[in-house]
A and B are shown apart, each in its own frame.
Chain A
């Protein structure tokens, strides 16, 4: 619908643009300021001007030298990807079974899945931590990934919705064609789920990347931890080196933000789908 025909136009254009710009700036500001400050030399970092007279990469050099940035980014990537892949596997198999195998347990299982969404993580971290420690998984990828597979409820519910939305005649046709249950899943259901799976993957990846509490507990060792924790450790260690700290913060944020700016539509759609549950 073109602007001229839009049924509601409460705000004049000036007010509209001004308000939205202000809010947008407010939203973006913390990371933006961190970015700008990270290029300022040490004596200048508290200045109010956005750009320094002598922009420098010193902060970054220092951070990259003192801080195992790449290792941390790597650890975080492995964790986020691992959890995303793991949850998708769980969710695809589970959703297929819940929708296509008629069984009486379907209702109760869905209830269990839904309820698990409502359980606050803080109520579970103590036993989760103890189990992870018992398994010898502290400071390992396994310890970061496997326990976080328990929060697969959202992935499961979303995929169940999508699998249910597939016309039954398609899977019936495949069954008639002699496809065994796994073949039906692989050849017919999975291709149809591709967009849903990528949306869920994006969602889980980003959420896990930003996860703070679990990595804090389970991987406190500086070389084995994630960027989020690493950043707080940097803060504790280098206390006053805010230039470096903000450079580090920028490095932490940038990967996802960059990906987002390229694929914002895809990503917002992914989050959108999770809300419509």
Chain B
């Protein structure tokens, strides 16, 4: 459009650029849809399909086997143990997702200042650290003969422990190692929630003579319930995934399958035993559980939110 001045100026004549306007959004969305379709939803469907086929990765699939893979899965004791362990992990990590980070966040929140900022930066560090490096370091420290851990417990008169090799301690170790990162991350989220609180509600309570404990219990805690529920739920659902790297590096699911969980099982079935069918069946079960949990979550939220 030219910038002439004078009466000949007018609206641009001719067809406006409406030709590709219907196509345009899809152009912008195509990378997203491609990424999701090819690398997430496609594989998801593929997994569903694999669960009902007889196929190891090396030779072409030999045919439809229906629920055979699932049957085989349910017959193996390993599977049920892994499932149970998954629950154990979920429960064990729960306090480290909720109570511990909450306390830390409250402590930091009580005394804002330079010290607090420094502590917060340090406390958040586990999220940055390469998980393999951390795991390797722990492996070193937990060495039953010479490791630092046994040296230290030795000071208290406790005999050396085979941390990673003893079924009774292995799970605890995995939980402890994973707990650091979980606590660090959730502490940050609680900090955010706390900084979003209206300080005036606390001042009002103070004016009414409430003690520090009463304020925490009746004013602060109720406002954090939402965050806690969210983090708790995420923890229960994702605990098994969070421990994955540590299990792989430190215990490989052992000893005696004590540190195994359903996610690790899928991995070993698929990539160590090449039982793709069974692995996929396990994956499908996990997906189903997620789907049910997701729908349940949706229903709960709908019924709770006043409209």
CB within 8 Å of B: which residues of A?
Answer: 1, 3, 6-11, 16-17, 19-21, 23-24, 26-28, 30-31, 33-34, 37, 46, 48, 89-91, 93-94, 96-98, 101, 103, 105, 109, 112-113, 115-116, 118-131, 146-147, 149-153, 156, 178, 180-181, 206, 209-210, 212-213, 216-217, 227-229, 231-232, 235, 242, 245-246, 249-250, 252-253, 256-257, 260-261, 264, 267-268, 271-272, 275-276
Contacts known (A19-B107, A118-B294); A126 close to B133, Cβ less than 8 A: no
Chain B residues whose CB sits within 8 angstroms of the CB of A91 once the complex forms? 32
Q: Label chain B's interface by main secondary structure.
A: helix
Measured between C-beta atoms, what is the minimum distance from B31 to chain A in Å?
A: 4
**Contacting pair A8 B39 (CB below 8 A):** no
The CA of A245 and the CA of B135, in the complex, are separated in Å by: 11
Q: Which of B65-73, B140-148, B158-166 lies at the interface with chain A?
A: B140-148
Measured between C-beta atoms, what is the minimum distance from B28 to chain A in Å?
A: 4
**Contacting pair A256 B180 (CB below 8 A):** no
Give the most central of B134, B136, B188, B280: most A CB within 10 Å.
B136
Contacts known (A116-B40, A122-B241, A212-B245); A245 close to B212, Cβ less than 8 A: no
Measured between C-beta atoms, what is the minimum distance from A277 to chain B in Å?
A: 10
**Contacting pair A6 B130 (CB below 8 A):** no
Contacts known (A123-B283, A149-B35, A264-B124); A98 close to B29, Cβ less than 8 A: yes
**Contacting pair A97 B25 (CB below 8 A):** yes
**Can you list 7 A-B pairs with a CB-CB distance of less than 8 A?**
A3-B113, A31-B129, A90-B31, A113-B32, A125-B270, A131-B42, A249-B132
Measured between C-beta atoms, what is the minimum distance from B207 to chain A in Å?
A: 10
Give the most central of A7, A228, A257: most B CB within 10 Å.
A7
**Contacting pair B107 A150 (CB below 8 A):** no
**Contacting pair B188 A97 (CB below 8 A):** no
Chain B residues whose CB sits within 8 angstroms of the CB of A1 once the complex forms? 112, 199
The CA of A146 and the CA of B279, in the complex, are separated in Å by: 24
Select from chain B the residue with minimum beta-carbon distance to A114: B294
Give the interface size bracket for B toward A: 35 or more
Beyond known contacts A33-B141, A89-B31, A231-B133: 15 more, CB 8 A cutoff: A7-B203, A9-B110, A10-B213, A24-B122, A31-B133, A90-B32, A97-B29, A113-B32, A122-B244, A150-B35, A213-B267, A232-B136, A245-B140, A260-B128, A264-B124
The CA of A51 and the CA of B194, in the complex, are separated in Å by: 40
**Contacting pair A96 B129 (CB below 8 A):** no
**Contacting pair B35 A27 (CB below 8 A):** no
**Contacting pair B286 A120 (CB below 8 A):** yes
Chain A residues whose CB sits within 8 angstroms of the CB of B148 once the complex forms? 33, 46, 48
**Contacting pair B39 A94 (CB below 8 A):** no
Q: Quick check: is B64 within 8 A (CB to CB) of the other chain?
A: no
Measured between C-beta atoms, what is the minimum distance from B237 to chain A in Å?
A: 8
**Contacting pair A34 B140 (CB below 8 A):** yes
Q: Quick check: is B236 within 8 A (CB to CB) of the other chain?
A: no
Interface residue ranges of B110-128 to A (CB < 8 Å) = 110-113, 115, 119-128
**Contacting pair A124 B40 (CB below 8 A):** yes
Q: Which 8 A-B pairs have the closest CB atoms?
A: A150-B39, A127-B46, A97-B28, A94-B32, A127-B43, A123-B283, A101-B25, A249-B133
Residue in A23, A93, A217 whose beta carbon sits within 8 Å of that of B123 in the complex: A23
CB within 8 Å of A: which residues of B?
Answer: 1, 17, 24-25, 28-29, 31-33, 35-36, 38-44, 46-47, 50, 57, 104, 107-108, 110-113, 115, 119-134, 136-141, 143, 146-148, 151-152, 177, 180, 183-185, 188-189, 192, 199, 202-203, 205-206, 212-213, 215-216, 220, 241, 244-245, 248-249, 263, 266-267, 270-271, 276, 279-280, 283-284, 286-287, 290, 294
The CA of A113 and the CA of B249, in the complex, are separated in Å by: 31
**Contacting pair B129 A231 (CB below 8 A):** no
Contacts known (A24-B122, A124-B47); A246 close to B245, Cβ less than 8 A: no
Contacts known (A24-B119, A26-B180, A31-B129); A93 close to B50, Cβ less than 8 A: no
